[in-house]
Homo-oligomer: A and B are copies of this chain.
Amino acid sequence: MTVVAEPGSPPFDAAKLDALLERAGVDAVLATSRHNVRYLLGGYEFFFFAHFTAIGVSGYLPCVVYAREQPESAFYVGNPMERLPLEREPLWIPSIDTSSWTTVGSARAAAAAVRRLGLGRGTIAVERSFLPDDAREALELELPGATFMEARPLLAELRAVKRPDELELLRRVADEIVLGMLAVIDSGLPGSTTSRLAEQIRVDQTVRGLASEYCLVAASPSRNRAPSSERWQSGGVSLDSGASLGGYIGDLARMGCIGDPTPRMEELLAEIAAVQDAGRAAVAPGRTGEEVYAAATACQAQCGDGALMTFVAHGMGLVSHEVPYLAESDTVPYSPDDRIRPFEPGMVLSIETDLYDDAVGYVKLEDTVVVTESGHEAYGDRGRGWNIAGTGGQSPTGG
């Protein structure tokens, strides 16, 4: 079934997308990942499949079809259950198909939209890591004259600079995550398992209206951050949690302590904070990821425990590592080009420094730092010292 209403305006920078498609020689892009479908729909996600996609003999595969310089012809493929809610609260995209329960059915509906646009022999960009194999085959069968290529870099670049409404969500989610961590630390009882602490964070974030994604938690002196039966008996605890609001991710890390921290604990966290602050001081329009890394690693080199530390910075938004890709590690691939690309206002970085000390355990701060017109601003920027359990958040070093 196809519903056609009055077309609206794209909620994203359509001229930028058109330019990206033009430069890549792409006629139309098919978005099928949760994050890019949501982005192109201006925040909409069908709530029913927010947590799982499998149903029946296949799965849910939403798809946005966008042809270059034809926003008025954009097309959305959803699920039959979306029909009624989308009649009541229409998308900016007037043309939708809600007939399919399967990945192959979604692909066929998307292919039909491409053909109606006269692009059956065009170059079509698809998200290969988020396009199921059977849907890809259906696209190829239905569009035998088309050429397919990877859409990921184009859509990642489209999302690189955040609008004020996106920044507002990122600010709120960061604030709420940190407030939740401080509340959970404050209520911390000696002997809680790390599983219990992670569950407290999950409940707290849910009550705050967030979608809780995960909580890494390490109780001194363990270096294991997976929630487990290990207990927070004394000393420090590291909380590193992700949650989202409207799909936008907050990912921050704070430290808690039972009783006063020892001088050694104070020293280690001060060193971590110094490296974090050195990194963020280099965040401003026109500056680069290379400068952020240079500043942080220079500070790290001056720290007595610098050799224990790992510093990482990466873009963040609807995906927890996104443009600019700055992380230099053997795991998350990064882009050398992004390292020397000038920051623009509206880019969002997650900056993180951690270390493991045999006696103190795992120590980490992770902050959300946004490039502003005049420099940078940190969201959720409280509680960066040792937050002491049972003090009502009034810890001397809890900042």
Chain A residues engaging chain B, CB cutoff 8 angstroms:
33-35, 47-52, 54-59, 80, 84-85, 88-89, 101-104, 126, 128-137, 150, 152, 156, 199, 202-203, 206-207, 209, 211-214, 216, 223-228, 244, 318-322, 325, 327, 331-333
Contact = CB atoms under 8 A, between A and B. Distances in A.
A130 B54 contact: yes
A47 B333 contact: no
Number of copies: 2
Nearest to A226: B85
13 contacts: A33-B54, A50-B213, A52-B244, A56-B325, A59-B129, A85-B226, A88-B226, A102-B129, A103-B129, A128-B134, A131-B132, A131-B133, A206-B212
A228 B89 contact: yes
A183 to B, nearest CB: 15
A110 to B, nearest CB: 14
A318 B53 CA distance: 11
A333 B102 contact: yes
A249 B318 CA distance: 27
A210 to B, nearest CB: 11
A321 B113 CA distance: 29
Contact of A52 (B80, B135, B223, B320): B320
A320 B103 CA distance: 16
Nearest to A198: B47
A311 B133 CA distance: 33
B227 A47 contact: yes
Contacts of A58: 129, 152
A217 to B, nearest CB: 11
Nearest to A315: B56
Contacts of A333: 56-57, 101-102
A57 to B, nearest CB: 5
Given A85-B226, A223-B84, A325-B56, A51 B211 contact: yes
A226 B47 contact: yes
A88 B228 contact: yes
A228 B85 contact: yes
